[in-house]
């Protein structure tokens, strides 16, 4: 639950830049610059004197062909400074400081229907979050996003710690390579222990993507507040080191079904010259939505034991049956007898937990006959 201690607002501050000129938000070493060149919105990020992201495209394509992938005009901008403290329900610390400068850029299509789009940037001392917001307007009701055009134009061939951009799983082992060497095809093919794999783009990686630059910077690219919107993966251009958002599609290739007013998840960049700062960052927590659970008194940390781990280590099997096509006389699957989460075994774990005052048991993928 958020507890606001103090809030500094400078709402309605009108940027003084000329239309199409650069707009800047900064905090500490982090500087965000927005520009509109020939109608194309772009952003850059720097950490001190070091570039983090070079000029990178912003935009979205819609199914009706009238998205925000063409020329746009700048209608205005607002700057807001926020410094507040809130308490998470669970976590490593009791209080989290949420300190940022927010730049909201108001854009519009120059031709009919003249749809409006806001791009909201929040600049923290350890990075940047930004998202697209669709204000309530007559020209935009229901719409379908077919592509998100967000780019992260990296300034060099960074060392990357990545897993394949797979639509069905994140259970791969991490690979360490330069961006110019990203190719997930061999890893996907070799990962036979993962039953369902679907990685159609050999140069796609999942987020969070961890990067180490030769100039001493550490950069983590991810997302926050992902609600009613597909997950973002990243296509790697191995020659230019430019990353482009790739949204996980539905069965027919569409990405997001939305109705204004609405907004996308935050795209996040956590940056520091010290690797431990990336892990300690609370930027993503600050950008996530506040808890909607009114009474959180029942939520508490606890110990538990789990059948899951014995299946993970191979002591017992994940498989309940060898074949989904072979049934018994009653039309049921024929068990192998080695599936770990069966009734007798789970009862054994429950008895063990009770004996040792352990309050919880994780069953894992349970036996269909468990009762």
Beta-carbon count within 10 A of 276 CB: 9
143 occurs within a structural domain: yes
Of 9-13, 308-312, 339-343, the poorest mean pLDDT is in: 9-13
Whether residue 344 is found in the same domain as residue 201: no
Inform me whether the pLDDT recorded for 41 exceeds 80. Answer: yes
pLDDT band at 21 (very low <50, low <70, confident <90, very high): low
Whether residue 33 is found in the same domain as residue 82: yes
Whether residue 267 is found in the same domain as residue 321: no
12 occurs within a structural domain: no
Stretch 168-173: mean pLDDT: 95
The string of pLDDT tens digits covering residues 242-262 is: 999 999 999 999 999 999 999
295 occurs within a structural domain: no
Residue 5 is predicted with a pLDDT of: 39
Whether residue 249 is found in the same domain as residue 338: no
Q: Do the bridges between strand 175-178 and strand 304-306 make them parallel or antiparallel, or are there none, so unpaired?
A: unpaired
312 occurs within a structural domain: yes
Inform me whether the pLDDT recorded for 4 exceeds 70. Answer: no
Whether residue 283 is found in the same domain as residue 343: no
Residue 81 is predicted with a pLDDT of: 98
Stretch 158-165: mean pLDDT: 99
Q: How many domains does the chain have?
A: 2
Whether residue 315 is found in the same domain as residue 280: no
pLDDT band at 183 (very low <50, low <70, confident <90, very high): very high
Q: Indicate the average pLDDT of the chain.
A: 91
Inform me whether the pLDDT recorded for 3 exceeds 60. Answer: no
228 occurs within a structural domain: yes
Of residues 19 and 58, more confidence is placed in: 58
Question: Do the beta carbons of residue 15 and residue 79 sit within 8 Å?
Answer: yes
pLDDT band at 17 (very low <50, low <70, confident <90, very high): very low
The string of pLDDT tens digits covering residues 275-303 is: 999 999 999 999 999 999 999 999 888 89
Residue 325 is predicted with a pLDDT of: 80
Stretch 188-211: mean pLDDT: 94
Whether residue 282 is found in the same domain as residue 329: no
Stretch 53-67: mean pLDDT: 97
Whether residue 53 is found in the same domain as residue 112: yes
CATH number at residue 172: 2.70.98.10
Whether residue 151 is found in the same domain as residue 93: yes
260 occurs within a structural domain: yes
Residue 80 is predicted with a pLDDT of: 97
> Among residues 155, 133, 112, which one has the least CA distance to residue 269?
155
> Among residues 114, 113, 117, which one has the least CA distance to residue 105?
117
Domain carrying residue 317: 304-362
Structure tokens at 257: 């079904």
Residue 370 is predicted with a pLDDT of: 43
The domain boundary residue, chosen from 287, 318, 346: 287
4 occurs within a structural domain: no
The string of pLDDT tens digits covering residues 105-117 is: 999 999 988 999 9
The domain boundary residue, chosen from 287, 321, 340: 287
Whether residue 280 is found in the same domain as residue 327: no
pLDDT band at 87 (very low <50, low <70, confident <90, very high): very high
Whether residue 88 is found in the same domain as residue 226: yes
The domain boundary residue, chosen from 287, 320, 351: 287
Most confident of 3-7, 54-58, 304-308: 54-58
1 occurs within a structural domain: no
Residue 9 is predicted with a pLDDT of: 39
Whether residue 112 is found in the same domain as residue 204: yes
The string of pLDDT tens digits covering residues 121-147 is: 999 999 999 999 999 999 999 999 999
Stretch 322-326: mean pLDDT: 78
The string of pLDDT tens digits covering residues 29-38 is: 999 999 998 9
pLDDT band at 16 (very low <50, low <70, confident <90, very high): very low
């Amino acid at each position: 639950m958020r507890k606001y201690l103090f809030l500094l607002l400078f709402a309605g501050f009108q940027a003084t830049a000329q239309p199409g000129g650069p707009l800047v938000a900064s905090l500490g070493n982090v500087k965000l610059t927005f520009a509109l060149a020939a109608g194309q919105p772009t952003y850059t990020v720097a950490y001190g004197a070091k570039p983090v992201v070079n000029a990178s495209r912003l935009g979205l394509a819609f199914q009706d062909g009238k998205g925000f992938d063409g020329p746009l005009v700048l209608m205005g901008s607002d700057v807001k400074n926020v410094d507040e403290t809130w308490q998470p329900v669970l976590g490593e610390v009791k209080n989290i400081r949420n300190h940022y400068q927010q730049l909201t850029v108001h854009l519009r299509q120059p031709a009919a229907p003249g749809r409006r789009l806001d791009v909201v940037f929040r600049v923290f001392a350890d990075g940047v979050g930004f998202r697209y917001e669709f204000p309530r307007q007559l020209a935009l009701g229901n719409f379908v996003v077919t592509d998100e055009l967000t780019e992260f134009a990296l300034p060099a061939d960074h060392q990357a710690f990545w897993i394949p951009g797979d639509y069905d799983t994140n259970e791969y082992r991490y690979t360490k390579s330069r961006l110019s060497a990203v190719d997930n095809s061999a890893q996907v093919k070799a990962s036979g222990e993962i039953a369902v794999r679907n990685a159609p783009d050999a140069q796609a990686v999942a987020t969070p993507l961890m990067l180490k630059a030769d100039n001493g910077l550490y950069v983590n690219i991810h997302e926050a507040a992902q609600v009613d919107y597909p997950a973002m993966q990243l296509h790697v251009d191995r020659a230019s080191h430019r990353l482009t958002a790739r949204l996980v599609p539905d069965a027919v290739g569409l990405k997001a079904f939305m109705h204004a007013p609405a907004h996308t998840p935050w795209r996040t960049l956590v940056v520091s010259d010290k690797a431990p700062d990336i892990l300690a960052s609370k930027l993503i927590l600050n950008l996530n939505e506040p808890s909607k659970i009114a009474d959180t008194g029942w939520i508490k940390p606890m110990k538990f034991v789990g059948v899951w781990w014995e299946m993970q280590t191979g002591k017992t099997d994940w498989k309940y049956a060898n074949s989904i096509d072979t049934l018994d006389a009653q039309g049921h699957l024929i068990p192998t007898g080695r599936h770990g989460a069966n009734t007798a075994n789970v009862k054994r774990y429950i008895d063990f937990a009770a004996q040792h005052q352990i309050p919880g048991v994780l069953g894992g993928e349970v036996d269909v006959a468990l009762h």
